[in-house]
Structures are given as C-alpha cells and as structure tokens.
C-alpha cells in the first residue's frame, strides 16, 4: 500500500481512492501459489532503480492500494468494531481493514499526541508465531543473520528472513526468546508483517521441509491480539491496569526486553499478556500480545478508560507512518524488498558479530551469507563493498513520495539519476519534508546535496543522517 499517499489524502480530507495492487513479481506469485519456493535468479539486477520501486505512471500517483497477503476478502482485527465506534476511517492494509485516522484527531495532531502523551495502535494484523524445540535455535540461525543463540530469555532482536544465494530480505521480523518450555525446549516468539503472510508462511514451510537438523515446531498464533502502546506516558498507563504493579516492575523492563504480566480487564477478570518494551514510533512504549480476541477488546477498553482521553488516544496508520519515518524505520514492500540485502538497507548491524565468518551452511552460515558478508568489507580489504545505500533525505518544496527520482550533478556539470525515494511525508515534529530512499555508492554521506523530481520539477534536497528525530527508548543507563 502506498501509505504516504493515503496519509496525504486523509490529511486533506480527500476521499479514499483505490487502485489495483502493484503487480507481483513472478517470484512472489509462485511463492504464494506453490508449495515449492523457487530460487531467486542470480542474474544481475538494477540495484539503484529496482522495478518494485519504479516511478508509477502519473495517472496512478493519486491512487493507493494495499499490499494484501491474498486475493480474498479483507480481514478484520479483533478491534474492528471499536475502531468504527470511535470514528475511524478504514483503509485496506496488509490484507486487513485498518484505521488510518480517527474523527477525534487528524493525522498530524495524532502524531504530536504520540510524541507528547500516549497513543494506542492496533497492530493485530501482524503475524505472530512460536518456533520451539531442540532445533529451533539452529533453524532461526539458518534463516536469519542474527545472533539468535546468544539471546537471553525475554530478550529480543530485530532481524530478517533471508533468501538463499542472493541475501535478499524475505521480510523483516522481531525475534524474542521466551523462557524454555516445561520440557526444557527452546521457545521463540516471532512477529512478521501481515502483507507478507502468504509469502512468509510458504518460505517457512519450504525451509522446514529442507531442514536436516534437530526437530522443531512452527505454530502460527492466529487469534492472538497485538496492540502497541506508545509515547512518554505509556509506562504509567500500562501500570494503571496491572494486577500487581510492584511484581511487574516496569521501570526495570528495558528496551528490547519482555515479560509476562497480569492485567485487569475489569473488577473481576484478569489475563496474562506478553509485554515487550519497544515499538515502531521511536518513542518509549510496549507491544502487548494478548491471548484471545475478547481479551484484546477488553484490555484496549481498560487502557482507554483507565488513562482517560486527556492521556491516551487511539491512533491509526497515518500517524504510525510519519512517526516511523521520523524514527528512520523501514516499511517492508517500500523501503525493503526481496532484492535488498541488509547492507544495502543500512541494516548491517542486524548481522551478528559472531555470524560474520561462515559462508557455508554446513559451517553454520545463514542464507545469503556468501553475498552479504563480502558486502561488509570494502574492495580494498578483499570484499565486494556495497552498490547502493538507504539514506535519509530532507526535501525543499513539495514532499517527495515513493517512486520519486533522485538526481545529482557530477563534477563535469552533467546531471544523472542516482536513486529512488521509497518513503516520504511531511514531518510534523520537524516541520520539514522528509524521505528515505536509495542512492549510489559515495553519495550517501550526510550533507550531500541532491535533487528530487517532484511533480515534474527537480527540487533541492540534502542527504541527512537517520533517525530524523532521536529515539526515546527506555534503556538501562
């Protein structure tokens, strides 16, 4: 879904317009319809101007569509009726009907509310998984570049599912190690993107079928709810519904950590949820996994009622998009895709230090290591280096949207296209038009002056360091 365009229309009070989803590549089509995943072609590809990020025809730029995980009817989260009751404007996103904004607050006002108070986001469209058993750790180390074996219980890491041979990103993911099961087996909680559901499940099934290590189990947690409580007041609001705030001790639960907590749904009911400290906004907060749809609705109401409207408001995809862009966070299908490696995406830090030696699966390597690891080293040190980099950009004039071309003037005075914008919107916090995109090697340094083609005009722009707005995560000092 071209979310930034949806946000722009919502801000301006324009009606929702729909267009056919972007054409899937043959790879993704086969991944969704076949039980056997193909191998991505190793033929050279256009790294700066991938077809998935091509500038759309001008007649299509006023439209947006979701990137549904299937061609069937749109799904609804457990909070759908609550959204409608609160005046939500619903749009298709990731195969679900999701709120883009609410009648009480516009997108920009909701953005500022999150930065200054707290907002509650429905992220129940995300796919939640358990991967458990004797072979769980080794399997996750095969399909991701993270140091999964080093995770302590109730600690998380951002990672990516990786394509074999190419090192392209299948999907980005959060992986949390939970306490071992009663039988002593490893247990991991994994969250992936809704729009990639069919592709991810086909990928995981194929990888499991090809797995030759110790046994493990993969379970999709359909029916569980997921909400994100974000903003500087988040901790106090969550403490307000805890059955035993002293036992939970949220003050000592830091970014990237999680714990099970018991929350009060009303005067007579309690439920145990998994609270993970973090989120997609750059603010302090929690993502809360809830066992049933009924408990999801009840807990959401309890949080809203206990905090009151002066502290907590519902927020939709509109504010979520501008918040995550200010925080420099990627949206899969826009800033990341199957052709993008972690190094391309300026995510080299997700490749664990202890994962940077082996390139053969027999030696414990991750999929695509033979491509990704050489990218970590410049050519003068025996590596291949990188060809493009994801960067932040501040644009003068009108905001740049996904697909806008990035241009630069060389020393000879000739202009050439050097990259493509993948996300862009006005920044409510900074009062500037911000974007992220991919540029060629050597043009990624902050302060580099470029031009971005917006509405047929090349506007001045500058490469900037991300995040645009510094994160306020609750870290141990």
- Residue 87 within a domain: yes
Work out the burial of residue 24: count CB atoms within 10 Å of its CB; fewer than 13 is exposed, 13-18 middle, 19 or more buried: middle
Determine the pLDDT at residue 72: 74
- Residue 325 within a domain: yes
Determine the pLDDT at residue 410: 87
Contact residues for 145 (Cβ-Cβ < 8 A; gap 6+): 159, 160, 162, 342, 350, 351, 352, 355, 366, 368, 369, 372
**Which residues in the chain come in under a pLDDT of 50?**
1-47, 50-68
Q: How far apart are CA 216 and CA 202, in angstroms?
A: 17
What residues does 350 pair with on adjacent strands? none
383 alpha carbon, distance to own chain's centre: 29
End-to-end Cα separation, the chain, in angstroms: 39
Contact residues for 260 (Cβ-Cβ < 8 A; gap 6+): 272, 273, 274, 275
CATH of the domain at 323: 3.30.1360.120
Contact residues for 392 (Cβ-Cβ < 8 A; gap 6+): 328, 434, 435, 436, 463, 464, 465, 466, 467, 468
Contact 352, 147 (CB under 8 A): yes
Determine the pLDDT at residue 346: 97
- Residue 49 within a domain: yes
- Residue 435 within a domain: no
Determine the pLDDT at residue 49: 54
pLDDT in tens, 349-381: 999 999 999 999 999 999 999 999 999 999 999
Say how many domains are in the chain: 1
- Residue 70 within a domain: yes
CA atoms 353, 252, 128, 315: torsion sign: negative
- Residue 425 within a domain: no
Q: Which helix (H) or strand (E) holds 199?
A: helix 197-210
Determine the pLDDT at residue 48: 58
pLDDT in tens, 415-457: 999 999 999 999 999 999 999 999 998 999 999 999 999 999 9
Determine the pLDDT at residue 71: 62
Determine the pLDDT at residue 172: 98
- Residue 266 within a domain: yes
What residues does 427 pair with on adjacent strands? 432
Q: How far apart are CA 474 and CA 313, in angstroms?
A: 21
Could you identify the residue written with the tokens 């190690």? Answer: 177
**Nearest alpha-carbon partner for 201 in 325, 345, 28:** 28
- Residue 475 within a domain: no
**Nearest alpha-carbon partner for 5 in 315, 327, 330, 334:** 334
DSSP letter at 4 equals H
Host domain of residue 372: 1-387
Q: Which helix (H) or strand (E) holds 32?
A: helix 26-33
What residues does 142 pair with on adjacent strands? none
Q: Is 461 helix (H, G, I), strand (E, B) or coil?
A: strand
Q: Is 165 helix (H, G, I), strand (E, B) or coil?
A: coil
- Max Cα–Cα distance, the chain, nearest Å: 75
**Angle subtended by helix axes 136-143 and 197-210, to nearest 10:** 120
């Amino acid at each position: 879904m071209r979310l930034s365009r949806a946000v722009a229309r919502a801000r301006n009070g324009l009606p929702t317009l729909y267009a056919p989803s972007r054409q899937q590549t043959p790879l993704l089509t086969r991944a969704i319809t076949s039980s056997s995943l193909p191998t991505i072609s190793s033929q050279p590809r256009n790294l700066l101007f991938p077809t998935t990020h091509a500038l759309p025809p001008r007649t299509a730029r006023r439209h947006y569509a979701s990137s549904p995980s299937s061609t069937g009817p749109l799904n609804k989260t457990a909070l759908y009726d609550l959204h409608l009751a609160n005046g939500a404007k619903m749009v298709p996103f990731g195969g679900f009907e999701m709120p883009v904004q609410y009648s009480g607050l516009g997108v920009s006002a909701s953005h500022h509310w999150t930065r200054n108070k707290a907002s509650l986001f429905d992220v129940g469209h995300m796919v939640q998984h358990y991967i458990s058993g004797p072979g769980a750790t080794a399997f996750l180390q095969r399909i991701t570049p993270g140091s999964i074996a080093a995770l302590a219980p109730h600690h998380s890491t951002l990672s990516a599912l990786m394509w074999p041979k190419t090192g392209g990103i299948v999907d980005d993911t959060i992986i949390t190690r939970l306490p071992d099961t009663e039988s002593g087996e490893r247990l991991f909680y994994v969250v992936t993107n809704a729009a990639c559901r069919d592709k991810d499940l086909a990928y995981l099934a194929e990888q499991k079928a090809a797995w030759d290590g110790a046994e493990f189990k993969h379970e999709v947690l359909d029916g569980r709810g997921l909400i994100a409580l974000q903003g500087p007041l988040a901790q106090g609001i969550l403490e307000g519904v805890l059955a035993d705030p002293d036992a939970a001790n949220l003050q000592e639960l830091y970014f990237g950590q999680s714990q099970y907590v018991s929350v009060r749904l009303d005067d007579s009911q309690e439920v145990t949820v998994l609270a993970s400290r973090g989120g997609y906004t750059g603010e302090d907060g929690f993502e809360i996994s809830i066992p049933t749809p009924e408990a999801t609705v009840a807990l959401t109401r309890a949080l809203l009622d206990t905090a009151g409207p002066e502290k907590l408001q519902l927020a939709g995809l509109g504010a979520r998009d501008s918040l995550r862009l200010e925080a420099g966070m990627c949206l899969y299908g826009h800033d990341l895709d199957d052709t993008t490696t972690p190094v391309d995406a300026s995510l080299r830090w997700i490749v664990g230090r202890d994962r940077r030696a082996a390139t053969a699966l027999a030696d414990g390597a991750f999929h695509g290591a033979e491509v990704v690891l050489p990218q970590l080293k410049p050519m003068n040190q025996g590596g291949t280096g990188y060809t493009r980099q994801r960067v932040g950009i501040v644009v003068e004039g009108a905001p740049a949207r996904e697909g806008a071309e990035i241009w630069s003037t060389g020393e000879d005075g000739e202009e050439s296209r050097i990259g493509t914008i993948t996300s862009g919107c006005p920044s409510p916090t900074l009062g500037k038009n911000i974007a992220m995109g991919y540029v060629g090697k050597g043009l990624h340094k902050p302060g580099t002056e470029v031009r971005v083609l917006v509405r047929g005009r090349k506007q001045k722009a500058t490469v900037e360091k991300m995040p645009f707005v510094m994160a306020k995560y609750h870290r141990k000092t």
